[in-house]
Amino acid sequence: MLLKILLLTALISSVLSYKTFKGVIVADDSNFEDIIYAKGKYTLVNFYSKTCQHCQKLGPKYEPLVDLFNNTKIQIVQLEGRENKRIRKQEKIIGFPTLRLYSFDGSHMGSFVDERSTENLAKFITDHTGVQPNWPEQIIKQISSINELKKLNQIKPSIVVFLAPWLDEWNGRYSIFEKIAKIYSNDYNFIRIDSTSEESSDLTNLYKIDKFPTLMKFNQKELSTNFQILNKDDINKESIENFINDDDIGKKYKDLNQLINEKLLVDDENDDNFQLKKGFNVYKNQGDYKNEEEEEERYRKLREL
Q: Which of 97, 129, 161 is the last residue of a domain?
A: 129
Residue 69 inside a domain? The answer is yes
For the stretch 239-251, what's the b/e string if a residue is b when 16 or more beta carbons lie within 10 angstroms of its beta carbon?
Answer: ebeebbeeeebbe
Q: Which of 104, 129, 154 is the last residue of a domain?
A: 129
- Rounded CA separation 108/118 (Å): 21
Q: Is there a single domain that holds both residue 105 and residue 38?
A: yes
Structural contact between residues 22 and 65, judged by C-beta atoms closer than 8 angstroms: no
Residue 155 inside a domain? The answer is yes
Q: Is there a single domain that holds both residue 259 and residue 160?
A: yes
Residue 112 inside a domain? The answer is yes
Q: Which of 129, 161, 190 is the last residue of a domain?
A: 129
Q: Is there a single domain that holds both residue 174 and residue 111?
A: no
pLDDT of residue 269: 57
- Rounded CA separation 259/265 (Å): 10
Q: How many domains does the chain have?
A: 2
Residue 281 inside a domain? The answer is no
Q: Is there a single domain that holds both residue 149 and residue 204?
A: yes
pLDDT of residue 97: 97
pLDDT of residue 234: 80
Q: Is there a single domain that holds both residue 177 and residue 212?
A: yes
Q: Is there a single domain that holds both residue 231 and residue 191?
A: yes
> Measuring CA to CA, which residue among 141, 134, 137, 169 is closest to residue 64?
134
pLDDT of residue 263: 84
Structural contact between residues 157 and 187, judged by C-beta atoms closer than 8 angstroms: yes
Non-local CB neighbours of 185 within 8 Å, separated by 6+ positions: 139
- Rounded CA separation 77/194 (Å): 35
Q: Report pTM.
A: 0.67
SS (H, E, C) the chain: CHHHHHHHHHHHHHHHHCCCCCCCEEECCCCHHHHHCCCCCEEEEEEECCCCHHHHHHHHHHCCHHHHCCCCCEEEEEEECCCCHHHHHHCCCCCCCEEEEECCCCCEEEECCCCCCHHHHHHHHHHHHCCCCCCCCCCCEECCCHHHHHHHHHHCCEEEEEECCCCHHHCCCCCHHHHHHHHHCCCCEEEEEECCCHHHHHHHHHCCCCCCCEEEEECCCCCCEEEEEECCCCCCHHHHHHHHHCCCCCEEEEEHHHHHHHHHHHHHHCCCEEEEECCEEEECCCCCCCCHHHHHHHHHHHHCC
Q: Is there a single domain that holds both residue 125 and residue 185?
A: no
Q: Is there a single domain that holds both residue 150 and residue 263?
A: yes
Range of the domain at 207: 141-269
Q: Is there a single domain that holds both residue 56 and residue 122?
A: yes
pLDDT of residue 270: 56
Q: For the packed helices 237-245 and 176-184, what is the interaxial angle rounded to 10 degrees? A: 30
pLDDT of residue 264: 84
Residue 300 inside a domain? The answer is no
Cis peptide before 97 (omega within 30 of 0): yes
Residue 75 inside a domain? The answer is yes
- The dihedral through the CA atoms of 140, 141, 144, 146 has a sign that is negative
Going residue by residue through the chain, which has 305 residues, state the pLDDT in tens, using 9 for 90 and above.
555 544 544 444 444 444 556 789 999 999 999 999 988 999 999 999 999 999 999 998 999 999 999 999 999 999 999 999 999 999 999 999 999 999 999 999 999 999 999 999 999 999 999 999 999 888 999 999 999 999 999 999 999 999 998 887 888 888 889 989 999 999 999 999 999 999 999 999 999 999 999 999 999 998 999 999 998 888 888 999 999 999 889 999 999 999 999 988 876 555 545 444 444 444 344 444 445 566 566 555 444 44
CATH number of the domain bearing residue 206: 3.40.30.10
Residue 13 inside a domain? The answer is no
Q: Is there a single domain that holds both residue 180 and residue 214?
A: yes
Residue 164 inside a domain? The answer is yes
Q: Is there a single domain that holds both residue 161 and residue 49?
A: no
pLDDT of residue 29: 98
Q: Is there a single domain that holds both residue 125 and residue 145?
A: no
